[in-house]
Structure 1
């Protein structure tokens, strides 16, 4: 009986300890939950207040904070521009610590969608680099803080808000939910030591590919560059391209898409690796070019080839060209998520990136070489002179040539339709 009593006492002691642990854990979780709700509430309140604050208050609240910048990280020049130039300048001028997080736009949009669905009012992302279909998805699903651009002094002073490529992003109204960061144009790059006369149309390109099997390919959509190449084919084959600038009309794209698939399927057997596989990214395509496996590459950045010549990655004989009928151009943007933990700091960063000094430095081949998003006529005479003095590199076409061949982008719905169609009609053909 004593033994049984002792066992019972031991069991009771163990049960009491378990109850105590459970009680402590429950209290801890309640406290943590309360803190999380409080943090969520405070972050949501701050975001709302930011839109109602004046610029002086926004700058003051941003001082001493940290800003998380989520952006595509596939270009070392762009990464160095942020890490080596923007970050120290932002710290010195505003006492803001900037942290860059490399992530594709689709990934952080999906992350935001999940946070929205879970009711998460305080996230991790402060600034997003977006445009096109990703912006449309974010805006339609209420994933963005805004409208906020009217709060930015540099936006108000230097941006032409009436410009169609500022007011619209791939045909979708921006309405102040994103600020223009830069403008780019699609160009083709080639090794002039291996080909003297680059093609002037998609039809000529198709014939060149057949005559030089294995020396050309393009990234598989939905990769951004590969998707843009498919749209270039649409632009060349369409009988009514201007209609794509109007509201979405599925019958329009269905009526003309077969011409696009025919061109791409005619090319496919003569592509690199006989078209059995495609590069999955621009970086992979550029590596094929660096290795000499293909003689052409492409991209939505008119100065990229010059940048890579300067870094020694591309041969000095690299040049760029545009098609006679024109190449696509667009503006890319910066946005603030609905649940940004530091919306004040986010807006200060975006305003800084729209300053003439930051935009001029971005044009310099030391880092990026990209065209600015600001209206040149609104710059001071001194800044205009600085811009005209910038050497954009040996492979970069003149601004006059680029502007004469600039073609507007189509709506995001068409982009998505073509990406799905490529998989069904080309990749799985």
Structure 2
């Protein structure tokens, strides 16, 4: 399998048609040479960190552009830094060149004029994307991207269970209440101050809301109260049977995964469908761990990179964003032995070599197919997540 994959990638790099030259792209490449791009990205996943290191090796060799990852525990750290620089009048030479960003943080930066762009349409490899209005690569938590951030990987919310202990996990979010009552202490979720815990609440919200369509618009008081009433009733019934009686929560996904591996809980969650197969290979989860999704599909979104308005190395950041969209790079990223993150490219826009590279990718028993993941539910408007996490903290923390 590895030989077939290598051959397919080699064929792709040799036979793929050259990128369409944008009017200023040669000048961008020339200006970028010698730059170091400070990519502010969540640093909580070792495989993602290793992939970013590989990106730096590749862009350095090909374009003379080095990537230095600034590891974040929360994307808001970088947003706050850019905001502070703007307040201080630092309109050039900013400390942040590229940000892995989504949802509320993108909305905040867009509304406050903290982003450089639009730039995505100028990237030669943007031709592999579906950027039509309403397409996943053109929206971020229902907010039109308008070329102000570039996609680089897909994310899907999934649950993880030990199939040896839980052969039939809950089919719907509503079913978690009865399952937890029958298995007290065997379920938990990360603290909603972490995006994984917030996503658990959002998944329940989209399944339980009387009219899920209202979640696609900004949350006003009346809509919020009506949509979340069933959620809080559900959570009030669920909480007493959570791990430690709902009095404590894992800090993040990694801590929760360790609880699953140690046998303290039976169900965990992730925003990376490939993470379970990767964890099994690393000895971090039992061989019987498997991914499942609830009926009707789970939340999915696209991860983007954005360039701050005052980035010191805008040209280098554009080169990195374009490199991330190269079909060979996307196939390498989707390889379960590398990262396993699903590609953002439109398969219909790939040539035969590009399709062959993806077809040759290795698989694993715990790696779900796109068919097994089912339909992807759209993320609520970013304002819902902000209100939801604040409301949860007010209701359930002292």
Asked whether the two chains share a fold, i.e. TM above 0.5, the reply is yes
Equivalent residue, structure 1, for 2:69: 100
Equivalent residue, structure 2, for 1:27: none
**Pairing partner for 1:89 from 58, 61, 68:** 58
Q: Which of these two proteins has the greater Rg computed from alpha carbons?
A: 1
- CA deviations 1:13-41 (Å, max 9, x no partner) are xxxxxxxxxxxxxxxxxxxxxxxxxxxxx
Offset of 1:203 from its aligned partner? 2.0
Is 1:335–2:292 an aligned residue pair?
no
User: How well do the aligned residues superpose, as a CA RMSD in angstroms?
Assistant: 1.5
Offset of 1:246 from its aligned partner? 3.5
**After the TM superposition, which residues 211-290 of structure 1 pair with which residues of structure 2 at under 5 Å, given as runs?**
211-290=182-261
**After the TM superposition, which residues 27-426 of structure 1 pair with which residues of structure 2 at under 5 Å, given as runs?**
54-83=24-53, 85-103=54-72, 104-121=74-91, 122-155=93-126, 157-162=127-132, 163-402=134-373, 404-426=374-396
SS of match in other structure, 2:291:
strand
Unaligned segments of structure 1, at least 5 residues? 1-51
Q: C-alpha distance in 2, partners of 1:271/1:248?
A: 28
Offset of 1:243 from its aligned partner? 2.6
SS of match in other structure, 2:301:
strand
Unaligned segments of structure 2, at least 5 residues? 1-21
Q: How many residues align?
A: 374
Equivalent residue, structure 2, for 1:41: none
Mean CA deviation greater in 160-169 or 182-191 = 160-169
Offset of 1:312 from its aligned partner? 1.4
Mean CA deviation greater in 58-67 or 246-255 = 246-255
Report the TM-score, using the length of structure 1 for normalisation.
Answer: 0.84
- CA deviations 1:52-111 (Å, max 9, x no partner) are 97111000111122111110011111111111x212111111011221110121111111
Q: C-alpha distance in 2, partners of 1:164/1:418?
A: 26
Q: C-alpha distance in 2, partners of 1:380/1:222?
A: 43
Offset of 1:290 from its aligned partner? 2.1
Report the TM-score, using the length of structure 2 for normalisation.
Answer: 0.91
Q: Is the helix fraction higher in 1 or 2? A: 1
* Structure 1 contact 363–392 (Cα < 8 Å) conserved: no
Q: C-alpha distance in 2, partners of 1:107/1:296?
A: 30
